[in-house]
Structure 1
């Protein structure tokens, strides 16, 4: 029997492919710009890595640069403020021993985030099409005019003026003929399946940390260009924090447990593909849980190969079984801890990068480069690549702005080469490998910009590439939506 094809008779101004962090931000911004907006998502949940496959709860991190200036806001800040008011988030956590390294946390409850996003879709008038996979585009030459979708209805053809690829892997942009870059199998960052544990005796754990601060690894609290003296001062500040702090929520993350880790490697009770540790996830009523984001890491999995992805799903679950048993046996306070959440699918750290009219580079990050077509800012290090060894983070030379400030993200990174009427947002925007904008606050920044740009293009009757000639209205729109484009160093 032939597959049924359905031609949807409604044409949308903007179609957003993918309902992860970039996709929901894009859809909200597009709808606020007056565009009829359809968001298509392959599963029944919105929010992607923030509530479905990644690091729930702490992921609104890095909103403040090392100088203490907020350089990421807009829809991100709006959601945090809303959830904080409703009791589903904690205030911005800026621990003194980590703030100078630009590492801050803005905790949210992941399940309430998922519910909040659905509320916002309804409030903004975004139309949703869930349990639907965008498999191809409809084109007139190099102009994208719609998408092809597979779901229980059959094959659906839906027309749109502007298509935004927020798939995370750039699948739709590639099908449209966009150019991409990717690493090889030996180089690609490992992927993971996260899980969360509750029932932790936090008092027991804190007492152990106070007595064994040298067993905790406090990475990501210094900057690469600091002098050795300044780094040592930061280490001493962190050491004092671990000796005296009684509130685990203030830690943000607790990594290391170096002697236990060594023991697990010797006995085969730890898989050896990552270090040991966890992040903190807030739940209702001020409760916190331990979220294991790095307890499974699988190498040599390319995200454009379903066989590889399948291997990753299998291997990570095996590693997680080891990790659960290891935590209960060795880590103080975890004897009676239990599994409360296993993310249902692989968190894919590194995939294709779609090449656009500009490629953000490692050198741009290092000098804190400014662009006239800025649509957002970041300060996160270039070159921070995960590895499958006990260090978790590769020991490579990382760079960040030498003045401890921020760098600009240009609009041209969102406009794919060789394709018209399309924008890209999320971790696959146009960068070199080191400048990869894969962190969730960065994906929401590019998502919001893409959605706002798409609405303006529809209103003006121009292509996203034509908008590059004058981005002043886009920048004004983003600022009205709370985005930070200037005012930081």
Structure 2
């Protein structure tokens, strides 16, 4: 049978490639801007890492800076408020011992998150093309005019006025000729497959925590500008919290179990690539589950190499099987716990960064830099790279915005060099390695901005690069959509 000919499908104002956290925010914002919007996703689910491959609900963990000011809102806050009202999210929890750490727990039920996203797509009139992979672009010189899609129909071309790459790895921008930066195999951050366990005896676990508070550790009180005295004060507050808190949901996460970890390493029942711990995932009617995000970590896997990715999937599952057995044997309350969810693919922590008209840097983060073309904010520290014990990754000193405030994300980071009619959003926007905007709340902030910008460009008949000359109308639209672009330190 002869190969089916390429079919040219209809044209859209905005085409969003990828239905993860950045993609869904981009599609919603573009549709709200009056653009006919198509969202193309390679699997049948929406929400990406938040509900499919990574830490469920974790996008809602960094919405407030260390001064207590909310610096990420817009669509992400809208979704959280909607889910909280329906009983599928935790409120913005701010344990006293983590005050001024810029870390809150506002987790959501991952499956209800996906359902909520589908509802919002329908409400906003976003057209979906699922089970479809964007494999290339159509170009007229440097101008991108459409995308090439492969699915069960065969090969098709779909034309668009503005294309937004929300693939997470910058696959489409690279195919369009945009330059990028990436690290080597010895340096790349490890990737992981998350899983969730239910059937935990929380009373038994909390009794153990109350008696062994020193066995629980946390990582957010390592802010570089904190004095040793201030860190010790925070440590004492944490110990008191662990001794007295009876509600595990208030913890947000439980990490450490240091003596059990040591025992597992000695007996070979725990692998050497990560520590022991989990996050608390809210379910129906206040029920919670233990979600393991870091129980498997595989180094030396580049995300632009399918052979590497395949090896990583295999190794992560080997580590997860070991972790499940370990938790049941050693961790109090887990004796009769059981697996309820294994994410179907790795959470990819580090991939390409598409170089744009501005490259956000470590120094920008440290200075709490402000930009005239700000489209969102963040406070997450630079240099917060994951490492594994067996890896050769050098530890990088972390830096936080001065005075515990936030820094601006400029629009120019979303406009790729050497390409026209394209925007990027998500973890592959233009930054240096230390300022990498890979956390899920950051991807939703850049996604919303890219979607709103794309719709505005279509309305005005200009390119995303031309829009750089005056972003005031874009900023006005984003503020009307609830985004935070000013008003913080």
TM-score (norm 1): 0.98
Where does residue 465 of structure 1 map in the other structure? 465
With over 3 angstroms needed to count, the CA separation of the structure-2 counterparts of 1:392 and 1:126, relative to structure 1, is farther
Contact kept, 8 Å, 1:149 with 1:156, in 2: the verdict is yes
Where does residue 246 of structure 1 map in the other structure? 246
- Superposed CA deviations along residues 386-418 of structure 1, whole A, max 9, x for unmatched, are 111289997431001121000000000000000
Following superposition of structure 1 onto structure 2, how do residues 215-226 of structure 1 map, counting pairs within 5 Å? 215-226=215-226
- Aligned-partner SS, 2:23: helix
Following superposition of structure 1 onto structure 2, how do residues 81-92 of structure 1 map, counting pairs within 5 Å? 81-92=81-92
Contact kept, 8 Å, 2:20 with 2:46, in 1: the verdict is yes
- Aligned-partner SS, 2:64: coil
Structure 2 spans left out of the alignment, 5+ residues: none
Tell me by how many angstroms 1:223 deviates: 1.5
Give distance in 2, aligned partners of 1:224 and 1:104.
19
Where does residue 28 of structure 1 map in the other structure? 28
Contact kept, 8 Å, 1:58 with 1:280, in 2: the verdict is no
Following superposition of structure 1 onto structure 2, how do residues 294-373 of structure 1 map, counting pairs within 5 Å? 294-373=294-373
Where does residue 190 of structure 2 map in the other structure? 190
Give distance in 2, aligned partners of 1:396 and 1:240.
31
Where does residue 166 of structure 2 map in the other structure? 166
Contact kept, 8 Å, 1:385 with 1:394, in 2: the verdict is no
Following superposition of structure 1 onto structure 2, how do residues 377-396 of structure 1 map, counting pairs within 5 Å? 377-389=377-389, 395-396=395-396
Tell me by how many angstroms 1:8 deviates: 3.4
Following superposition of structure 1 onto structure 2, how do residues 435-454 of structure 1 map, counting pairs within 5 Å? 435-454=435-454
Tell me by how many angstroms 1:77 deviates: 0.3
Give distance in 1, aligned partners of 2:358 and 2:283.
41
Where does residue 119 of structure 1 map in the other structure? 119
Give distance in 1, aligned partners of 2:274 and 2:153.
43
Where does residue 55 of structure 1 map in the other structure? 55
Following superposition of structure 1 onto structure 2, how do residues 127-138 of structure 1 map, counting pairs within 5 Å? 127-138=127-138
Tell me by how many angstroms 1:31 deviates: 0.2
With over 3 angstroms needed to count, the CA separation of the structure-2 counterparts of 1:72 and 1:121, relative to structure 1, is same
Give distance in 1, aligned partners of 2:395 and 2:84.
36
- Superposed CA deviations along residues 58-77 of structure 1, whole A, max 9, x for unmatched, are 43110000010000000000
Following superposition of structure 1 onto structure 2, how do residues 275-294 of structure 1 map, counting pairs within 5 Å? 275-294=275-294
Give distance in 2, aligned partners of 1:226 and 1:479.
33
Contact kept, 8 Å, 2:274 with 2:294, in 1: the verdict is yes
Contact kept, 8 Å, 1:424 with 1:450, in 2: the verdict is yes
Where does residue 199 of structure 2 map in the other structure? 199
With over 3 angstroms needed to count, the CA separation of the structure-2 counterparts of 1:381 and 1:392, relative to structure 1, is farther
- Aligned-partner SS, 2:444: helix
Where does residue 5 of structure 1 map in the other structure? 5
Contact kept, 8 Å, 2:188 with 2:301, in 1: the verdict is yes
Contact kept, 8 Å, 2:187 with 2:393, in 1: the verdict is no
Contact kept, 8 Å, 2:187 with 2:392, in 1: the verdict is no
Give distance in 1, aligned partners of 2:299 and 2:459.
45
Contact kept, 8 Å, 2:27 with 2:39, in 1: the verdict is yes
Tell me by how many angstroms 1:96 deviates: 1.3
Mean alpha-carbon deviation: is it higher for 135-144 or for 2-11?
Answer: 2-11
- Superposed CA deviations along residues 186-238 of structure 1, whole A, max 9, x for unmatched, are 00000000000000011111111111111111211341111111111111111
Structure 1 spans left out of the alignment, 5+ residues: none
